[in-house]
Amino acid sequence: MTVTATSVDRQDQQEPPTAPTRGARILRLVPAATAALSGVLLYVSFPPRTLWWLALPAFALFGWVLRGRGWKAGLGLGYLFGLGFLLPLLVWTGVEVGPGPWIALVVIEAIFVALVGAGVAAVSKLPAWPVWGAAVWIAGEAARARVPFRGFPWGKIAFGQADGVFLPLAALGGTPVLGFAVVLCGFGLCEAVRLGLRWRRTREVPRSAAALALISMAVPVLSAVAARSLVSDKAETGTATVAVIQGNVPRLGLDFNSQRRAVLDFHARETERLAAEVKAGKKAQPDFVLWPENSSDIDPFANPDAAAVIEQAAEAIDAPISVGGVVERDGKLYNEQILWDPEKGATQTYDKRQVQPFGEFLPMRSLIGAINDEWTSMVRQDFSRGSEPGVFDFGDAKVGLATCYEAAFDWAVRDTVTHGAQIISVPSNNATFDRSEMTYQQLAMSRVRAVEHSRTVTVPVTSGVSAIIMPDGEITQKTGMFVADSLVQKVPLRSSETPATKLGILPEIALLLVAAGGLGWAIGAGMRGRRAGGV
């Protein structure tokens, strides 16, 4: 019997494929593990640590696992990177409510990072891919800062750079330009290392590719050095002596305000203690006093006893006080700052405009109530949003207000400056987050905002860390956590606007156009390649 070649071929084709070895299976996991661990590395670069430079190798590793891959692989690797970064970064969101909301938030927010991963993988096949990839990252941040529920920009790369060499770029183009520079430098590092390894193997590297890799690393650093000329803490329209009050709270956790009168009394008591020090000549007389968010959870307009406590404190310190109150008006609840003058009483108010989802209002209330009715009981009534920027007139000083969560949003801080603010105040209440990293992450945001708009930023917090930040981002005074304390300092009043303040959203739009151009080029190249392969 004769065996034909055709029958032999068929027999060969029917043989089962060789099972991958254990080593091969492990190697397949390397990109996934690297993506997740590089996300963790990015988290470690954020406050309270001062390891800002770790963001560069984090993005270098992220670029390495994405380069040359398809969009589906990029999607999965991006999601792992997002989980590695956001799970530890946002753990404070579950301090009092348990792991459910924390994990749900991270699972949703990591989707944006997954989409970025798919985009970076697509543009990684293009010349000068670090530029396109960094722009795609900023596009992802822009989307995350706007949706869902009006956005959640926590974890912007810029907010991890308060101690870094790139910080002056905030004055040039705000958080988008600062973040773009960091990511570009990281991707440039990836490309430089890749080309270096190629040179060792082949002794051949395209000059244009090598030049672009070096430019991607050098331009962000050189631009940051040049932007230092935009940073100044000199007074332009005089000075003001400001007092920041941290009264502390009766207990930690979500039930801190169950003794609401105690919170108000604590802040009044600390103000009166400061007044005694002023009279004794131990501290300077402040021109105005700043209390934190929720320092009076009792509505002083509806409760004469609360108004009397505030009035007494203002008279004792002989200066107007910005009081954080919870106010009900026309059946609506507002998180409000109230300017309380010792002679005239309440003269100005500011209603918080960017209220916090699941903290100050509950989206999809009926659905969430069906899942867990305890969550709906935590937010019994939604806070309403204000509509006007807050700028209080303290004599010759104009103080812009961005209440707590609002400090994370570019527009909410910028428009106080464009409406005349010479100082920025970020009254906050972090008592619900215990001793977590949240307060330090938020403090870093305020440092970036100080440089972005070249303004002193004060951070009065109920339980700490309260601080005074100069226009160059330096913290000159700060308190501990969960202690009663006060800070008094003469600070510069500034009226000039940085390029970032003047340009507003334009740098972000420009980077979105760069990202769109890179993605369009990549998609077009992919379609042409498939058509050519088909022919």
Which residues are known to be catalytic? 293, 352, 404
CB atoms within 10 A of CB 50: 12
**For 406, which DSSP code?**
G
Tokens 């670090």 belong to 130
- Residue 496 has φ and ψ, to the nearest 5°, of -70, 160
Closest CA to 269 of 222, 317, 221, 209: 317
Structure tokens at 375: 């969550």
Expressed in angstroms, the distance from the first to the final Cα of the chain is: 43
Closest CA to 267 of 429, 78, 110, 484: 484
The residues, any chain, with a CB within 8 Å of residue 475's CB and separated by 6 or more, are 443, 447, 467, 468, 469
Cα–chain-centroid distance for residue 87? 15
What is the torsion angle, in degrees rounded to the nearest 10, for the CA atoms of residue 297, residue 302, residue 303 and residue 307? 80
Compute the C-alpha angle 248/252/258, nearest 5°. Answer: 85
What is the per-residue DSSP string for 12-37? HHHSPPPPPPHHHHHHHHHHHHHHHH
- Residue 164 has φ and ψ, to the nearest 5°, of -100, 170
The C-alpha atoms of residue 285 and residue 272 are separated, in whole angstroms, by 12
Compute the C-alpha angle 349/353/354, nearest 5°. Answer: 145
155: left (phi over 0), alpha (psi -120 to 50) or beta: left
**For 461, which DSSP code?**
B
The C-alpha atoms of residue 93 and residue 268 are separated, in whole angstroms, by 29
Residue type, 157: I
Q: Does a cis peptide bond (omega within 30 degrees of 0) precede residue 48?
A: yes
Contact 406, 353 (CB under 8 A): yes
Structure tokens at 473: 């981002």
Residue type, 96: E
The residues, any chain, with a CB within 8 Å of residue 76's CB and separated by 6 or more, are 32, 114, 117
C-alpha distances (whole Å) from 506 to each of 276, 349, 451, 494 are 49, 30, 18, 23
